[in-house]
Amino acid sequence: MDRYRSLRLSLLVAIGGAACSASPPASSGAGEGAVVAIPTSPASATAEPPPDGEPEPEKPKGIGWVTEKNGNIHRATRVTCDATIDIPACTGTEKHQSCKTDADCTEHPHGKCTSGVGQVGTYCGCTYSCETDDDCGSGKACICKGTGALRARHAVCGDASCGTDADCKGSTCGLSTYFNGCYEQVTLACRTKEDKCKSDADCGISPLGSSCVATGPRGAKPTWQCASMSCVIGRPLVVEGEVRAARPRARADWRAPLVFDVEHLAAPAREAIAAHHAAIAAMEHASIASFARFSLQLLALGAPAELLAEAQTAARDEVEHARVEYAIASRIGGRIIGPDKLPDATARLATDVVSFVESLVVEGCVGETLGAAEGQEVARAVKDEGLGAALAQIAEEEARHAALAWKTLQWALDAFGDEAREAAARAFERARAMHEKDPPKMPVENEEFGVLGARTLGALRRQALCEVVAPCVQKLGLVAWS
Ligand SMILES: [Fe+2]
Ligand SMILES: [Fe+2]
């Protein structure tokens, strides 16, 4: 079934490609490797169970990776990881091949030319593993396969502000595996007294998220804090590489008039579903700031009036999206909430072409497109008619926001040439890699009230990437995905 035909056609129309059909992208003429192919990891393309459910191997206390009673993992001493990559090798018969043998994978140590299956067919691509920190370079550590919540089928290089517990006075060097909905951040960081959480149990159903992870601005020391899936729900507010949103507080002036029956929901489920919608509401609220900042960037870069006008409309849409989501969270949670202050709204803004294009691709072209696809699924899944109609309206408007992002990218490519083109190609490649895996398991899954499961989300995002994003990428002559 061509599930996202309408969304794809509307975006292709936005960038002048109305004649394009629903067929998968054809060869660009730049050779086999230039065909736009969106690989899907074999783990997600098959019904095999994810590796994160595997039991942790027993380790002597204080040696290597140590699992604490509360589920935290820390690295007591350095270990040599198994560099085996549990992904089938390229057979040579795959439709798209960016490598043919392991000898083609030389960018990092322990490369393997692996085979996968995506929505546009089979493919081969390089996957890299590691044995020791030395394989990863400065500021990185080799995280062994199967450690904690790491979902990769091989050891991976993660950012490391500590190497072992010995680097953390009086505390431990903790492993954080945080998938924010767009990409997985694997980090080693000291736990400190200033941490906002000590384990996932401290986060529970906090509107800020259910995972205690180490995160922070790029280049700065990470801190442990509660976080949740924060990406691909419309356009995020990203400041210094971090997604920002307002905390919730009791207030009634950010609530749409939306009433639906929740009495049949058990109390624990209500709390968890309300927390999920409160997090989405905060993201929608942050999108208002994101579009305001986008408008300023457009002005700074000399964009045409049409793009400015649409950016203003999009910001107004986001006000309504936030009101609807705060109403849903309030109704289900039984407490009326709205947003607290959002000081990051006025944070310093980048106006150089490269920063602008990279964030436009990740947050707009990919983020808003997947947000629209996700919104369609959520609206289809909910049972209440009024709730479904409100969510369908949001999905429709998110599709318009996605169209605005693609139109803006087309303008930027025309206006700024190779600089913009190269930045866009890099950003699309990053976005492709982000979605190879499913997002982390949600604290609750309840389609009736708009909370899709992690596997459903992962699958629909990959499908939308293949059926919607890839044809638009090709239409713009960007062939970075291989
Ligand atoms: Fe949006
Ligand atoms: Fe939105």
Residue ranges per structural domain of the chain: 5-35+232-475, 51-227
pLDDT of residue 5: 77
User: Quick one: which ligand is closest to 325's CA?
Assistant: 2
Up-side HSE of residue 439: CA atoms within 13 Å toward CB? 24
pLDDT of residue 7: 79
Task: Give residue 303 CA to ligand 2 midpoint distance, Å.
Answer: 23
Compute the distance between CA of residue 206 and CA of residue 181 in angstroms, rounded to an integer. 17
Beta strand residue intervals within 6-47, DSSP E:
none
pLDDT < 50 regions, the chain? 18-51, 53-61, 118-121, 181-182, 205-208, 230-232, 480, 482
Q: Which of 159, 257, 271, 253 is nearest to 210 (CA)?
A: 271
Q: Which of 321, 391, 400 is nearest to 364 (CA)?
A: 400
Q: Which residues surround ligand 2, an ion (CB under 5 A)?
A: 234, 284, 287, 318, 321
pLDDT of residue 30: 29
Task: Give residue 287 CA to ligand 2 midpoint distance, Å.
Answer: 7
- In this structure, what token pair is assigned to residue 101? 């043998």
pLDDT of residue 286: 92
CA distances from 451 to 193, 360, 378, 381, 386 (A): 34, 27, 7, 9, 17
Give the contacts of 297 (CB within 8 A, at least 6 positions apart).
349, 350, 351, 356
Compute the distance between CA of residue 143 and CA of residue 128 in angstroms, rounded to an integer. 12
User: Quick one: which ligand is closest to 368's CA?
Assistant: 1
User: Quick one: which ligand is closest to 283's CA?
Assistant: 2
User: Quick one: which ligand is closest to 402's CA?
Assistant: 1
Task: Give residue 234 CA to ligand 1 midpoint distance, Å.
Answer: 4
Task: Give residue 121 CA to ligand 1 midpoint distance, Å.
Answer: 30
> Which architecture, in CATH terms, is 5-35+232-475?
Up-down Bundle (1.20)
Task: Give residue 285 CA to ligand 2 midpoint distance, Å.
Answer: 8
Task: Give residue 231 CA to ligand 2 midpoint distance, Å.
Answer: 12
Strand 121-128 to 96-97 pairing:
parallel
pLDDT of residue 233: 57
Residues 114-139 have pLDDT tens digits of 886 543 345 677 888 999 999 998 88
pLDDT of residue 207: 43
> How many other CB atoms are found less than 10 A from the CB of residue 136?
22
Q: Which of 404, 416, 415 is nearest to 369 (CA)?
A: 404
pLDDT of residue 24: 33
Judge contact between 121 and 96, C-beta under 8 A: yes
Task: Give residue 204 CA to ligand 2 midpoint distance, Å.
Answer: 25
Judge contact between 196 and 226, C-beta under 8 A: yes
